[in-house]
Every structure is written in C-alpha cells, then in structure tokens.
C-alpha cells in the first residue's frame, strides 16, 4: 500500500458499513478519520487498519454537534487534504404513530438528517477551498418510502436525501461529487442475524442462503467505485440490494 | 349554510392558502379552529367568516410546541368532533449551502416538518378515538426535489411527506384519510406579486396573464374535494399547478 | 338534467370504470360518445343513460386503429364540441418473462399505450382548434412499478404515463388539461370478485369488508372533479385506492 | 489480456456508448458480439478491438426482429457462455404532439422498447439455463420524465425501464443481474458537437469546458463496475451525468 497525502472522513464509523468503508479507504492509502459516538468502540477498527499498514485516527464524535463536526473535519483536513467525507449514521426505529414520541422524532432527525447536513456543509466548505472532493451519504429503503411505523426514520432519511440532492446540484459544477447510496436491504450485522434467530430460531440462521444478506465489504466497494468515477460521468444516486431481495 | 357538529382545524392559517381553506370549511358549516403564530393576524379571517354566518375560533399557536398543538386540537375536538385537520405552515427559504446556518436548518425543520408530525399525531389520536377523520398536509415542489439553495426547505418538506406517507399507510385501514397535496407553483399572494414587481417592474405585474398564479380559493376547493372522497377511493397524493406553469 | 352543447368521449367504455365515467358525464348533461371493441356490449350502458334522460352514442371501436380513433373523435366533435376525452382501456396480463410472447407484448402495448397516444393526439387536435379541453388517462399500479410478471403491462402503462406527462407539459399552456389517474387497487368488478372467490371460496367473498374494493362510481366522481378544476390549479396526477389497501 | 471463455453481447453497438462498452469488455478478454443495423459500420470497431488483441464478432442486426435477436444471442452463446448482454439502442426524436406521426411513435417504440424486451428475454433464456448472467439496459433522462416533444421517446424509454424493473425482480433471485443506467446528459458524440456548433458557432465548440460532455469510455467503465458487483450488493439503477450538468 502506498500512503497518499489525503484523508477520508467517515462519520458514523459503526461496526459494519461505516468501518468497512473506513478499511477500504485505508487500504488504498488514505488516512482515515473515523468518528462515532464512543471512541472506545473504534479501537478494533483502528488496530485492524494499522495492522494492515494503514493509518486511522479514531475520534469520539457526537455528529449532532456543529462544533464537534466542524472540529473533526478541520482536524482531518489539517492532517492532509480531505478528499472524501462519508456520512453513514443510521437511527432505524419503528413505532406506531401514536407511540412515536416527540423526543424520538427529534432525536432520529438529529442523528440521521441534521448531522448529515452539518457534515455535508462543513466538508463542502473545506473542499471548496481546494476545488475538489467527494461527499457521500448513506441512504436506506426509508429514504424513498414512508412505511408503517417509520414516520421518524423515513422522515429523517427523506430529509437527508433532499439535503444530498440540493448539495449535488449546487456543488457538482464546483467539482464536488455528492452522492446518495440507497441501501435497500438488510446488511449482514450481528443485529440482523439476531433478529433472524429470534424470528425463525437457530435453524433459520443455519439455513440462511449465501449472499442473502449484504456484506459490508461489498457495499464499501461501491463507495470506492463512486469515488473513482471521472467527473464527466458522476452518479448521484444508486440502489444496492442482494440478489435474492424482494422489492 | 347549515351548521354542523364538527370542527376543522387549520394549522398555519396564513393569509392565503390556510385562510382560504378555513373559509371553505366554514362556509360548509364547520366550526373552524384557525391557528397561527400571531392571533392578531387572524382577526380579519375570523370577522370575514363570521360576517358570512360561519363560526371561527382564532388562536395564537406556536405549532412547534407539543403542548400548544395538543391543547389546540383538544379544544377543537371538545368543541365538536374534529373531522379534519389541515397542516399548512410553510417556511420557504433559499440559501447557498455554506450560508445555511444550523439555526435556519433547524428552524425550518421545526416549522415545516416537526410541527407537522406533532399535528398529525395529535389529530390522529383524537380521530382514532372516534374511528374517522381526515388529515391533510400541504406540500410544495421542494417536497419532491432538492433544488439549489433549498437544502433546508426541501429537507423539511421531504421529511413532512415521509411522515404523511407513513401515517397514511398506518391510519388508512383505521378509517383516517391522510393526504399530501403538492402545490407545485406560485400562489397568488402579496409576496409573490411583490417579487414579480421587483424583477420585472410594474409592467410585468400589469401584464401578468390571468390564472398565471394559483388562486388560494382554487386550492381550497381541492382540499374540500379530497375531504369528500368516499373511503373506497381515497387519494394520498396529488399535484396542483396553474395551466401555464413550466414543470 | 340540463343538456349541454358538449360531448365527452370515453374510449374503453368497459363495464366498470369506463361506463361509470360515461354515466357521470351523461348525468351532467354531456352527450357521451362511448367506444369499445364490441358495440353490442355498449347496449346496456346506452339504455341505462337514456332511461335517465341522458344522451349516449355507442360505437364499436378498435382503439388501436388510427383511422377509427380519428373518425370516432371527429364524429363526437361534430356532434357538439369535444370537451373531455377519457382514455381508459386496460390490458392487465401477467406472465413470467420467458413466457411473455412478442405477440402479447406488442398487443398489450397497442391496447394500453399506442392507442392512448392516438386518442390523446387526436383529442388534442380537435381541442386546440377551440382552445380548450381535458384529456384524462387511466393509470394503474403498474404505471409506476414493474412488478414480477408485468413486463408487458407495466411497460405499456409506464409508456402511457410518459405520453400523458409529455402532453400535459406541452398542452397545459394551451389551455388543455391533461391528467393521469393512478388506480392503485382492485376495482369492484365481476372479474375481481371471481378471483377472490377462486382464492378464498364463497366465504372470502361473503366476508369481504365494505369498501374493500373500489366502486367505479367513486372513481368516476374523481374524474368529474378533476374536470371541474379551474385552470389556475390543475392536477396532473393523483392516486386512488380504498382505505384498507396495503401499499 | 487474458482471453476468457465468455461472450458479451452489445446490441446497439453505435459509434459512442455502445462501442465503448464493446471495447471495454473486449479489453477484459471477452469475445464481443457487436450488433447494429448496418454491419458495415462495425468494421472500425472490430478492427480496433482486434488490433488491441481482442476478439469481436460484428453482425448486422435489426433488433426489432425476434428471429434476428434470438439468432444473434444464440450464436454468441454458442461461441462461449453469454455472460453479459447490453441493450443500448436509442431513438431520440422530438416532435410537437400533433406532429408525432403514428409511424414515428411505433418505430421509436420498436427500436427503443420492444427490441429491448426481446433482447432481455432471449438473454435471460440463455443465462437461466446456466444460472447466471447480467443484462444491462441503457436509459436516458426521458426514461424518468416526459418532457415537451418527447411523447414518443419518453414513452419508449419509460416502457423499457418498466421491462428492466420487472425482469430485475423476477430474475434477481435466479442469479441474473438486471440493471438500468440512466444517462442523464449529452454524450460526447459527433452529433452533439455539431448541435453545439450550430447553436453557438465554432466559438462555442472551442470554448466547451473540459468534461462538459460525457466521454463514452467513462460510461463504459460504469457498466464494467456494475458487472463486477458481487451478488450480495447489486445495483438496479443509477444515474450518470457530468459534473457541470444542470438537473
């Protein structure tokens, strides 16, 4: 691996998609600035990347804080030019409408939409100063459709998608590639596997067909490919789902 | 006019669409509970409705306050069964992404999305208790598309649309009609006329072709028609624009 | 009923939606020109309308024939100004892709899309000469979504929707109201009831909740309302489904 | 280059996108079966590929002929397993609705939609027999939107998109990757450059900013990346446009 004088910021570097993206960019020589709520939970990612010869800076980060987001991205850009910023936090909850408290509604929005706006805007500010960069937002089925029980989550994700669209139209001509990736299926996470086990028992888990769930690495690969698109043919939006998914 | 034992709540009873809807339901015999930020500004609407033999209760209302929304709708429902709730507040602003402050982003969301969630949920709570009702949300072009400069507004409106979808899917089978009306053009308001004058002078205003701008009454008529749809053929979403509009 | 000097053309005046629309416009005083493949099957509609004091001209019509469509609409317009043209033919089929013959694919397109283009264009030609009119297209779930087995049907319906959009944008400013109504659920037809019986037996049919299926009259009412929209607030597209529908 | 025992069929191997895709797959070791109306026009592509050590079979092909499509794909599959089939023909025309002849409407549909259905179905038939493959359809702005003058083209492209969706949902679980790529801007072709020259003169052409038009090679690269997606993370749809595009 050849180290590059460039950083990739991953906001919401959770155990699955976020950390797979971090590992991918690290493996390509980028210094990765990985942020998530609890810095402790980033230790494994950091040591994993570094044992592979990569470079990872792990930071505790409350993405809902303008001050923290600004400082996090500034530090990344001070380290080396911020070339890509990935906004990944999810906040998937499901409640009947009468049981959706104002606290839940607000919190989900703050985590999944408001913080995405902050991250996108601050990344854009740094990138515009150098005239290039890429800002990618992770979407979900709920970005496109308000299903039963998803008033809070779908509202936040649809709102994030609108931010991404608005930024893409303004920043594209300024050489900033903004994209929105719609992850339209279950990712292979401990949480999803546990849910399958609870519903169908150990047997359901054992019989899970190969490639039924999305491997975070496969998703990360798509972020990498988008990042490498030449600017005469940029994608704003694409969907991703496993071959067996019903949609 | 025959008075009915029913109330229509209009949240965001501004000078144009909101008050036209209020007048329409009042003219059909509904007691209208009209809410907007400043109760003073509702005086003309109230006297207008009452001079026509209608009944209007005007209330100062900060729609971003859960407590106020809950009290407002409760009072309406105590007066007579709440049969329809219209959520209408807009918050149309346009800023380049770097100039979109976190305060603006949050405030626009609170006014145009969060308060819509509160209103929809509390109206649903009251209506579910009686097993019927209608909840209508006013949308805009920005509900469907994040244009340049509209990160805040489009995000809020797309978020509101997702709330409406989620509610429609959950509440339809419970006999609550939830709909989202996409107002995809300029309404004939003092603000829009002034903007035309500023851009093109008095001449532009004088030469404005008839029906180039949407008359709030025409829009109100559509709310009324939706309200009267039988439940075997409900519309969730429709768009409205004048015949000359480019889209 | 007061007779008007105006005709309404219904192309695809089948036993359900099409004839309900025909009856509605006839009941409002329009001379209805009703066309469907077999003129014989229009006898009941014609006598029904006439026994109510209305006026109906029934014509055998192959909507896939440019010559026949042109003649049919010309005759209607010669009788009295053609004020509204409704294109309603369906062609709902479902086959696995490998079993979708080129003959089926072509025929479904000819019935549901190509003939809609012909009808729309010829209606527009007559209406433009007088500077007003309305052209409404009946859509379906498949207009918006290509589900499994619907390659032929969804392709035709999506194609028809694009025709409608393109016409709406061009003709709106010329005072022709073009709209597309998405009927997103089962209509209460003999065919649908029989399908329910076959799947669930007589019991399923007997237990069918009220308003579970769409009444063609309810749908027709919406066409009438769209037709009456003032031109400063026209709807291009709306969806219709019963309150219990899962979507 | 390492030759593979695999073929890639490109239907509509025109001078720009189609031949760029053909060259890309040839450069990766696939035998390319290139088809377009006139076999003569494929000579340059064939010699170009072969001078680079690749393998290209050029065939005159009327994609609207079920017999020819079937034979073309069969021959490709007989040569070596058909692993990917790209359907690329365009038929971009613009006419006011009244000037859109039935001949144009039908022909555009036959070229851009009907032939895509035939190609997709026949490719699927061959691929299903071996349990894998990829079928990609080239879309356009008009796939998503019926603009003024595009009744014929948008109808055909929207119809093709519906075919692709329907096939993707049915064939995905059978390990066939179906995708639809929305090319939402002008490609760098002789035709587009000439149009720019006609509108703005030589100067406009000379001042054309770099990367203002899409390079067919950039587009071809995206087809290649989609083709290489692992099946746990397949994209059905993505858009492509240059960074300066207004959308």
| C140, C166, C168, C173, best to mutate vs chain D, most D CBs in 10 Å | C166
Does B172 touch chain C if contact means CB atoms closer than 8 Å? yes
CB B75 within 8 A of CB A80: no
| pLDDT tops 90 at residue B101 | yes
| B233, B235, B247, best to mutate vs chain C, most C CBs in 10 Å | B233
Closest CA to A120 of A152, A142, A88: A88
| pLDDT tops 90 at residue C171 | yes
Distance CA A12, CA A85 (A): 11
What's the pLDDT at B189? Answer: 85
| Runs of H (alpha helix) within chain C | 17-27, 43-51, 66-79, 102-109, 115-130, 141-144, 151-171, 190-206, 216-227
Q: Contact D175/A240, CB-based, under 8 Å?
A: no
Distance CA B209, CA B194 (A): 16
| pLDDT tops 90 at residue A60 | yes
Query: What ipTM does the predicted assembly reach?
Result: 0.96
Instruction: Return the H-helix or E-strand segment holding A50.
Output: helix A43-51
| pLDDT tops 90 at residue D191 | no
- What average pLDDT does the structure give for chain C? 96
CB C180 within 8 A of CB C237: yes
Does B242 touch chain C if contact means CB atoms closer than 8 Å? yes
Per-residue confidence at A190, pLDDT binned at 50, 70, 90? confident
| D120-145 mean pLDDT | 98
Closest partner residue to D240 (CB to CB) among A233, A245, A247 is A233
Per-residue confidence at A1, pLDDT binned at 50, 70, 90? confident
Residues 53-82 of chain A with CB under 8 A from chain B are: 66
- What average pLDDT does the structure give for chain A? 96
| pLDDT tops 90 at residue D128 | yes
Distance CA D33, CA D52 (A): 16
Per-residue confidence at C51, pLDDT binned at 50, 70, 90? very high
Would you call D172 helix, strand, or coil by DSSP? helix
The whole-angstrom distance between C226's CA and the closest CA on chain B is 9
Q: What percent of chain C has pLDDT over 70?
A: 100
The whole-angstrom distance between C67's CA and the closest CA on chain B is 30
Closest partner residue to A162 (CB to CB) among B114, B155, B170 is B155
Q: What per-residue string of b and e applies to C106-139 under the rule 16 or more CB within 10 Å gives b?
A: bbbbbbbbbbbbbbbbbbbebbbeeeebbbbbbb
The whole-angstrom distance between D127's CA and the closest CA on chain A is 15
Query: Which residues of B are less than 8 Å from C235 in CB distance?
Result: 222, 238-240
CB C242 within 8 A of CB B231: yes
Does A105 touch chain B if contact means CB atoms closer than 8 Å? yes
What's the pLDDT at D186? Answer: 84
| pLDDT tops 90 at residue C15 | no
What's the pLDDT at D1? Answer: 78
Q: Which two tokens stand for residue D7?
A: 């073929």
CB D146 within 8 A of CB C166: yes
Per-residue confidence at B192, pLDDT binned at 50, 70, 90? confident
Global pTM exceeds 0.95: yes
Closest partner residue to B162 (CB to CB) among A106, A154, A170 is A154
Q: Contact C149/D163, CB-based, under 8 Å?
A: no
Query: Which residues of D are less than 8 Å from A243 in CB distance?
Result: 172-173, 175, 177, 231-232, 234
Closest CA to C133 of C180, C165, C99, C171: C171
Does C15 touch chain B if contact means CB atoms closer than 8 Å? no
Would you call B59 helix, strand, or coil by DSSP? strand
For residues A210 and D173, which has the higher predicted lDDT (pLDDT)? Answer: D173
Does D165 touch chain C if contact means CB atoms closer than 8 Å? yes
What's the pLDDT at A91? Answer: 83
The whole-angstrom distance between D24's CA and the closest CA on chain C is 29
Would you call B60 helix, strand, or coil by DSSP? strand
Distance CA B237, CA B243 (A): 19
Residue of B nearest to C240 (CA): B235
Closest partner residue to A105 (CB to CB) among B114, B155, B167 is B114
| pLDDT tops 90 at residue B126 | yes
What's the pLDDT at D192? Answer: 85
Contacts of A21 (CB under 8 A, 6+ apart): A8, A10, A13, A86, A88, A219, A220, A223
Distance CA B14, CA B111 (A): 13
| Runs of H (alpha helix) within D28-150 | 43-51, 66-79, 102-109, 115-130
What's the pLDDT at A192? Answer: 84
Per-residue confidence at A15, pLDDT binned at 50, 70, 90? confident
| pLDDT tops 90 at residue C175 | yes
CB C167 within 8 A of CB C117: no
Q: Token pair 């001949």 is at which residue? A: D103
Q: Token pair 């490998």 is at which residue? A: C98
Closest CA to C127 of C81, C79, C163, C180: C81
Does B195 touch chain C if contact means CB atoms closer than 8 Å? no
Q: Contact D124/C158, CB-based, under 8 Å?
A: no
| Angle between helix C151-171 and helix C102-109 axes, rounded to 10 deg | 30
| B179-190 mean pLDDT | 91
Residues 209-238 of chain B with CB under 8 A from chain A are: none
Q: What percent of chain C has pLDDT over 90?
A: 89
What would the pLDDT profile of C202-221 be if each residue is shown by its tens digit? 999 899 888 999 999 999 99
């Amino acid at each position: 691996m050849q180290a590059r004088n460039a950083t990739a910021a991953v906001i919401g570097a959770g155990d699955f998609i976020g950390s797979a993206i971090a590992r991918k960019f690290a493996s390509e020589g980028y210094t990765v600035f990985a942020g998530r709520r609890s810095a402790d939970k980033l230790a494994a990612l950091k040591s994993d990347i570094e044992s592979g010869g990569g470079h990872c800076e792990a930071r505790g980060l409350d993405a809902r804080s303008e001050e923290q987001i600004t400082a996090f991205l500034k530090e990344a850009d001070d380290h080396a030019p911020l070339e890509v910023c990935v906004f990944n936090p999810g906040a998937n909850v499901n409640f009947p409408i009468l049981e959706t408290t104002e606290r839940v509604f607000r919190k989900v929005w703050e985590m999944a939409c408001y913080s995405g706006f902050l991250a996108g805007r601050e990344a854009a500010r740094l990138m515009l100063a150098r005239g290039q960069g890429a800002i990618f937002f992770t979407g979900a089925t709920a970005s496109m459709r308000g299903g039963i029980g998803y008033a809070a989550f779908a509202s936040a994700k649809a709102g994030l998608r609108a931010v991404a669209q608005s930024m893409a139209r303004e920043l594209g001509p300024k050489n900033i590639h903004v994209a929105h990736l719609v992850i339209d299926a279950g990712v292979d996470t401990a949480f999803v596997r546990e849910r399958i086990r609870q519903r169908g028992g150990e047997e359901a888990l054992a019989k899970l067909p190969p490639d039924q769930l999305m491997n975070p690495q496969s998703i990360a690969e798509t972020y990498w490919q988008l990042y490498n698109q030449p600017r005469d043919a940029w994608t704003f939006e694409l969907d991703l789902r496993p071959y067996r998914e019903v949609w």
